[in-house]
Structure 1
Amino acid sequence: MSPFNALSRRGLLLGLGAGGTVLGAGRQALADPIFADYPFQLGVAAGDPLPDGFVIWTRLAPKPLEIGNGMPSAPVPVKWEVASDAGFGTVVRSGEAIARPELAHAVHVEVEGLEPGRPYFYRFNAGRERSATGRARTAPALGSAIASARFGVLGCQAYEQGFYTAHRKAAEEELDFIYCYGDYIYEGRSSRVYNGSGGTSENPRQHFGGEIYSLDDYRRRYAQYKMDTDLQASHASAAWFVTWDDHEIDNNWVSALDQDGVPPEIFALRQQAAMQAFYEHMPLRRSAFPRGSALQLYRKASWGSLLDLNLLDTRQYRTDQPCNDRWASACAGVDADTAQVLGQAQEAWLFESLNRSQAHWNVLAQQIMVMDLDRKEGPEPGYNLDTWAGYRIPRQRLLRHLRDRRIGNTVVLTGDEHQNYAGELFLDGREPEGAPIASEFVTTSISSSGDGQDQRADGRRYLADNPFLKFNNAQRGYVVCDVTAERWQTEFKVLDKVSDRGGTLSTRAKFAVASGDARVVSA
């Protein structure tokens, strides 16, 4: 029997006879389908807000972890509504999208014609079923003066290593938007034990299946993550700007290279599957539609005249990590003049974007630490070579551009580290000269690396050995940024544990940057 087993053959035929629409090459869309189970089990999401609208997303999956996801091999119509009130008394936009099997029955609707700088509510209907309601705020009008912005930063959410309590807490913050820096899923096989830099512990839950390689594998992994109701609440609370890091495809991948030395043409097949699944599950615009093993992810967003948000991709165009990517090391490859982090095209785009910006704050929303943190004990330096510190020439090119073009009020937002950091950026952190060029805030993980602790021994050493570093913490959580024209404040919110759902949230620290002064100070 078909996995769409609750829809009888007679009912299907009657439904198609009563108004099924021919779509594409002879395929018919089901009219008023009856689902085997609730089809909106993966929730709803919004993303990439503009002054006149945003993307709204859902995916039909009555049986999310089964082959075929409980859906027929046919397009299915999905109705959508956007309202100015949570009760949908005033529906301002509505329409119908087609959930296609080629995209795992995901839909991406680019809603337009809305008013700037205000909240809206959205939902979907398919057959007799209705989704949960999501909330999203449109961006302020381009160039408009706004008093403040309040947004969240989060990412690194290894499903196995902890519960998503931080997402539930973030959903209660009433944020203007959320920036997710990546590592939305993790590609590894199921494991009962976590053994990493944070120590060894038993995982509170497990992945379904082994390491993921195929499109079906990646779809199932996203479905497992998205079935988490705390993650669904976080998505439904605000529009997200999403980027990726490495685990959406494979640990520490760059360009056409993976950590296992797989031939590039073979790895490209895995990239293609992973990129399609990423697009299928993220609230991205059509401009990010994957093309083989490539996906256009870097882009710019504005929040009135207060913020320009430059969303970067530090994986797809980067050259290989030097020194065989050895931890806390250095070698001649760190100074390679052919090294790239952003790639030539993205770097040129970023520099032009910064040059033309009229915003009060310029934000680099990206994945890997820009601070050249010395992580090796003793007099000889050693770096995390999967960060900008392993790419000295492109790192200096970026910072020189900020300095020489006098692009002030630049704040870098980073993830990947599974720890919180706050610090200042200099051309050479070992020999800092003059005032800092920019400020950087690194956000810890939602769950990756387990419960964590207030500060690890290596974190205490980093603070002692790197004077530009102002704060370090190794707990789980997220960041809230409160921004005005006069001041940027970053609040580090942490949980005492993620090994069960009852973790307690607290503010661990607040740090601020004054307009015109890149120094990071305790707030």
Structure 2
Amino acid sequence: MDLTRRRLLGLAGASLGGIALHAAGFSAGTAWAAPRFAGDPFAFGVASGDPLPDGVVLWTRLAPDPLALDGRGGMPERVVAVEWEIAEDERFTRRVRRGVEQATPELAHSVHAEVTGLAPGREYFYRFRAGGDLSPVGRTRTAPTDPAALTFAFASCQCWYEGFYTAYRHMAAEDLDLVLHLGDYLYEYGVGETGGVRGVTLDASFQRETLTLVDYRNRHALTRLDADLQAAHQAFPWVLTWDDHEVENNWAGDFAQLDTDGYPDQDPEAWRARKAAAFQAYYEHLPLRLPQRPNGAEARMYRRLAFGRLLDLHVLDTRSHRDDQVCGDGIKSDCDVERSAPERSILGAEQERWLLDGAGRSGATWNVLANQTLVAQVDQNPDPFVHASGLDMWDGYTAARDRLLTGLWERNVANPVVVTGDIHRAVVADLTLDFADENAPVVATEFAGTSISSGKDGAPTDEIGAAWMTGGVNPHLKWHSAQRGYTVVHATPQALTASYRVTPVVTVPGSGIQTVAAFGVAAGRPGAQPL
């Protein structure tokens, strides 16, 4: 169905009756029987996520005063019953499911309604009601059980103050089954006196780095108010995992960033408290299922979604379980011994076994790994006699990379493809058993995507890209771009293609969109080829 943005945001009110109550857990707040809000309680819009063949999770958060400095969004310490309904048409004449969730103050009055009983591979429409207020209409899709094709976009790194989210407005107009977000949904730094390129004045609390639950809630709130981001969330179900900036730059498991910027993260208890706050705010603002709800400073973000026999999606978390970066982090040319220590891990032993065992058992044509930072080896110095490695990437965990690629090879995993975020640039790479041997077997293909806005306006190449792509030091890298945008992946039983869509300018709104490169992988023949 052709759903324009006006139609997506247009609503037709309808009363709901006979709705079963589904408690969301204990809350210290009393019930608010007849809520009346001072502003629009659905200022953050709506979203859906983690599609299964029989259902999705529906999300919203009540916040009539979305940037209230106490982080409560203008809501009282009371429980609010939020009705939801899902239908086969956007006018809700063919309703198929309805229910009620309890929005509690403990979770910032967020709603995560896990809907079941839907048909596979179908488009649905959904909305919420709180008191007399009705939310925007969202569109979602369940996972197909026998798809002839699957199309998704992946994106990452959306620094609010460094660029407008024009790419998301273009993404919302695509014909997609889902959106995959690979991390850096927000940035923990202060946004600047004018909100960077946004040109707005915000309270002083937005000028400092995020540390507390209130800080993280309000930084998410600022991000979620963007209309283009809301449009993309309303148009498709999203599958999300985090990277570093949702908490702190380059955090690693139980270790805070080495440069503390004057904050007390090196104290273990302070660091765990900060992580717990960041994890909770992340869950509160995104369409995640109950297994991804954090328990303090612990959360299980890695999980697997199946799309029939066509594609298995293995969603990774390369932050929560990794060893600390070695040699002081950064890019180093004298750290080969430390970074290649055999015991080092970027996934943690449990996640590593889960990934390789699950991929080995997969019966799908394509095994897609949703990954945060670059797997491919990258010599960042064009001098052939000096090898410089980025220690926050898989290059800082070479034994873990060897176990991953060897494990995929030995298990004969069908058509592994890695999609990656983090690096604010687009890269296509062959992943081989031995990057030092140009004749080594190709195990998988990596499609790394650029940022939505982080790094401000990009360019087809830059100094870093030139270093990566010249001098023959990285022959397994097929293509590079430092422009901004997202990547559209289309999978069939015969081939998987990746089309790189870029917005030339992000520091002002309204830029166009263009496809600057496309690569394909044929089933049974690893390695990307330009199209």
TM-score of the aligned structures, taking structure 2 as reference length: 0.90
Q: Does 1:419 align with 2:404?
A: no
CA shift, 1:28, in A, is 2.9
> What letter corresponds to residue 33 of structure 1 in structure 2?
P
Identify the residue that residue 495 of structure 2 maps to in structure 1: 487
CA shift, 1:69, in A, is 1.5
Identify the residue that residue 287 of structure 1 maps to in structure 2: 291
SS of aligned partner of 1:185:
coil
Identify the residue that residue 388 of structure 2 maps to in structure 1: 382
Distance in 2 of aligned mates of 1:178 and 1:373: 27
For the 8 Å contact 2:425–2:451, the answer to whether it is kept is: yes
**Unmatched 5+ residue regions in structure 1?**
1-20, 195-201
Identify the residue that residue 108 of structure 1 maps to in structure 2: 112
Q: Does 1:189 align with 2:190?
A: yes
Distance in 1 of aligned mates of 2:142 and 2:199: 36
CA shift, 1:97, in A, is 0.7
For the 8 Å contact 1:310–1:350, the answer to whether it is kept is: yes
For the 8 Å contact 2:101–2:113, the answer to whether it is kept is: yes
**1:300-319 equivalences in 2 (<5 Å):** 300-319=304-323
**Unmatched 5+ residue regions in structure 2?**
1-22
Q: Does 1:401 align with 2:430?
A: no
Q: Does 1:119 align with 2:123?
A: yes
> What letter corresponds to residue 34 of structure 1 in structure 2?
R
For the 8 Å contact 1:151–1:481, the answer to whether it is kept is: yes
Identify the residue that residue 64 of structure 1 maps to in structure 2: 66
Distance in 1 of aligned mates of 2:370 and 2:527: 19
SS of aligned partner of 1:276:
helix
SS of aligned partner of 2:84:
strand
Identify the residue that residue 357 of structure 1 maps to in structure 2: 362
CA shift, 1:205, in A, is 4.3
- Higher deviation after alignment, 306-315 or 421-430: 421-430
- Out of 260, 277, 283, the residue aligned to residue 273 of structure 1 is 277
Q: Does 1:88 align with 2:92?
A: yes
Identify the residue that residue 519 of structure 2 maps to in structure 1: 511
- Higher deviation after alignment, 203-212 or 80-89: 203-212
Identify the residue that residue 163 of structure 1 maps to in structure 2: 164
- Out of 377, 402, 406, the residue aligned to residue 372 of structure 1 is 377
Structure 1 residues 22 and 319: CA distance shift in structure 2, 3 A: closer
Q: Does 1:435 align with 2:441?
A: yes
For the 8 Å contact 1:399–1:437, the answer to whether it is kept is: yes
SS of aligned partner of 2:63:
coil
Provide Cα deviations, 1:277-300, integer angstroms capped at 9, x if missing partner. Answer: 011111011111111101110000
Provide Cα deviations, 1:29-78, integer angstroms capped at 9, x if missing partner. Answer: 21231100000001101000000000000000000111231111110110
For the 8 Å contact 2:149–2:310, the answer to whether it is kept is: yes
**1:341-356 equivalences in 2 (<5 Å):** 341-356=346-361
For the 8 Å contact 2:491–2:497, the answer to whether it is kept is: yes
Structure 1 residues 247 and 457: CA distance shift in structure 2, 3 A: same
- Out of 176, 194, 203, the residue aligned to residue 197 of structure 2 is 203
Identify the residue that residue 52 of structure 2 maps to in structure 1: 50
For the 8 Å contact 2:364–2:414, the answer to whether it is kept is: no
Q: Does 1:179 align with 2:180?
A: yes
**1:236-255 equivalences in 2 (<5 Å):** 236-255=234-253
Identify the residue that residue 15 of structure 1 maps to in structure 2: none
> What letter corresponds to residue 39 of structure 1 in structure 2?
P
Distance in 2 of aligned mates of 1:23 and 1:521: 51
Structure 1 residues 89 and 338: CA distance shift in structure 2, 3 A: same
> Cα RMSD between the aligned structures?
1.8
Distance in 2 of aligned mates of 1:317 and 1:47: 24
Q: Does 1:213 align with 2:211?
A: yes
> What letter corresponds to residue 397 of structure 2 in structure 1?
Y
Distance in 2 of aligned mates of 1:345 and 1:34: 48
- Out of 494, 498, 505, the residue aligned to residue 497 of structure 1 is 505
For the 8 Å contact 1:437–1:518, the answer to whether it is kept is: yes
Identify the residue that residue 225 of structure 2 maps to in structure 1: 227
> What letter corresponds to residue 481 of structure 1 in structure 2?
V
Distance in 2 of aligned mates of 1:507 and 1:496: 11
For the 8 Å contact 2:24–2:102, the answer to whether it is kept is: no
SS of aligned partner of 1:339:
coil
Distance in 1 of aligned mates of 2:318 and 2:24: 42
CA shift, 1:25, in A, is 6.7
Identify the residue that residue 5 of structure 2 maps to in structure 1: none
Provide Cα deviations, 1:158-187, integer angstroms capped at 9, x if missing partner. Answer: 000000000110000021000000100100
CA shift, 1:322, in A, is 1.5
Provide Cα deviations, 1:474-519, integer angstroms capped at 9, x if missing partner. Answer: 0110000011111110000001100111211100100111111112
- Out of 460, 463, 487, the residue aligned to residue 469 of structure 2 is 463
Provide Cα deviations, 1:5-43, integer angstroms capped at 9, x if missing partner. Answer: xxxxxxxxxxxxxxxx99957743212311000000011
Provide Cα deviations, 1:240-273, integer angstroms capped at 9, x if missing partner. Answer: 0000000000000011111126122210000000
SS of aligned partner of 1:324:
coil
For the 8 Å contact 2:519–2:529, the answer to whether it is kept is: yes
SS of aligned partner of 1:461:
helix
**What is the identity percentage for the equivalent residue pairs of Structure 1 and Structure 2?**
44
SS of aligned partner of 2:461:
coil
Identify the residue that residue 6 of structure 2 maps to in structure 1: none
SS of aligned partner of 1:341:
coil
For the 8 Å contact 1:189–1:209, the answer to whether it is kept is: yes
Structure 1 residues 192 and 377: CA distance shift in structure 2, 3 A: farther
Aligned residues: 494
For the 8 Å contact 1:191–1:203, the answer to whether it is kept is: no
